[in-house]
Amino acid sequence: MKKLILSTAALAVSAGVAFADNHGKTVRLGTEGAYAPWNFVNDAGEIDGFERELGDELCKRAELTCEWVKNEWDTIIPNLVSGNYDAIIAGMSITDERDEVIDFTQPYTPPDPSAYLAMSPDVDLENGVIAAQATTIQAAFVAEQGWTVVEFPTPEETVAAVKSGEADAVLADKSFLDTMVGSDGLVMLERMEAIGGGVGMGFRESDAELRDMFDAAIQSMKDDGTLNEMIAKWEVASQW
């Protein structure tokens, strides 16, 4: 509770009433910055993408001052629970495993299938080699099927592996792979996998109040249709 009352009036600019005691509270948002179109670093070296726009809008509605922090995907949750930033907004699917450690808001995009990208449409998944980003739900899925998984540290390298012939196909979020279809002869397979829930923001379990604030802001964006517009603009998922 103490965290929320910490208000320094000097920084407060906006004149809302609903969340009056948030004025000037700085919330630090952690993201990866390597997962277009969700979040990436643009030519100017700034964080850009669907979640950048979404996060800024949510902060505006909750009347919070937000700052963006980049963090490696591997340590994104440990750094949240350790308090180095206050929320994760990094295309993170809501899973039971993660939910045990952190708290999620309601999803801001509906569950979307994961898709395969390969050099030819008739690749044999069962006997082939499938690339996935290390320690993602997709990597775990391929391993569970008993197929051969080859794991790379970044999403970029998984696609590069398919192009170079290292792997036969890559399994990742459909929206991420959509941006790659067609380049260097990459095609998307018909087969999709329904793994993972929707994507939500992650918070420390002890930070329920902050979570509720963002949850309310997401709800208000869902209600007035701005969220759907944003989803359409960045082509990250299907509509609500």
Partner 1 sequence: MSCLQTIQDYALRSIGIGERLLPRTDFTLCEQVTLIGSGMIWNIYFGLIAIALGFFAATGMALAKNSQNKWLQKPAEFFIYVFRGSPLFIQMFFAYAVFVVLKQNMPFFAPFTSAWLGATLVLFLNTTAYTAEIFYGALQSIPKGDLEAADAYGITGRPRFTRIVWPSMLRLAWPAYTNEAIFLFHATALVFFSGFPVWGQRGDALYYASYFADKTFNPFVPYPILAGFFILLTLVVITIFGQIGKHLNRHLPQAAIRRPNFLRTIMR
Partner 2 sequence: MFSYCTDPSTLEGLTWLSCYLTTGKHMGFYLSFVTVIVLLLITAPVALLFGFAGASAARSRFLPLSLLGKTYTAIVRGVPDIAFFMFFVIALDQAFEYLRHKVKCPDWSEPVRQGNDFVVCAQAKLPLSTSPQWVHETYGFALAVLTFSIVFGAFAANVLYGAMRAVPRAQLETAEAYGMSTRQTFWRILVPQMWIYALPGLSNLWMILVKATPLLFLLGVEDIVYWARELGGTKTARFSDYPHGNWHAIYFFGLLVFYLMLTSVSERIFKRITRRLSHGQATAAGEAQRKAVQ
- Exactly one of 19, 57, 79, 222 binds partner 2 (CB under 8 A); which one? 79
Beta-sheet strand order (sheet of 34-35): 34-35, 39-41, 47-48
Q: Confirm if 36 and 49 have CB atoms less than 8 A apart.
A: yes
C-alpha to C-alpha distances, 160 to 10, 94, 117, 166, nearest whole angstrom: 49, 27, 11, 8
The stretch among 6-14, 19-27, 74-82, 117-125 that binds partner 1 (CB under 8 A) is: 74-82
E strand or H helix at 152, and its extent?
Answer: strand 148-152
Nearer to partner 2, 82 or 239 (CB): 82
Cβ neighbours of residue 203 under 8 Å, at least 6 residues apart? 80, 86, 87, 88, 102, 103, 104, 105, 210, 211, 214
Q: How far is the CB of 144 from partner 2 (least distance, A)?
A: 25
Binding partner selected for residue 183 from partner 1, partner 2, none, CB under the kind-specific 5 to 8 Å limit? partner 2
**What count of residues does the chain have?**
240
- Exactly one of 160, 187, 189, 192 binds partner 1 (CB under 8 A); which one? 160
For partner 2, the binding residues in 8-47 under the rule CB under 8 A are 8, 11, 24-28, 33-34, 36-37, 40-46
- Exactly one of 23, 61, 204, 211 binds partner 2 (CB under 8 A); which one? 204
E strand or H helix at 150, and its extent?
Answer: strand 148-152
- By CB under 8 A, how many residues form the interface with partner 2? 51
Q: How far is the CB of 166 from partner 1 (least distance, A)?
A: 6
Binding partner selected for residue 21 from partner 2, partner 1, none, CB under the kind-specific 5 to 8 Å limit? none
Residue 144 near partner 1 by CB under 8 A: yes
Distance CA 135, CA 133 (A): 6
Q: How far is the CB of 81 from partner 1 (least distance, A)?
A: 7
Residue 119 near partner 1 by CB under 8 A: no
- Exactly one of 12, 34, 150, 189 binds partner 1 (CB under 8 A); which one? 150
Residue 188 near partner 2 by CB under 8 A: no
Q: Confirm if 65 and 55 have CB atoms less than 8 A apart.
A: no
Q: How far is the CB of 55 from partner 1 (least distance, A)?
A: 22
Provide the 3-class DSSP secondary structure of residue 77: helix
Distance CA 129, CA 147 (A): 7
- By CB under 8 A, how many residues form the interface with partner 1? 28
Residue 72 near partner 2 by CB under 8 A: yes
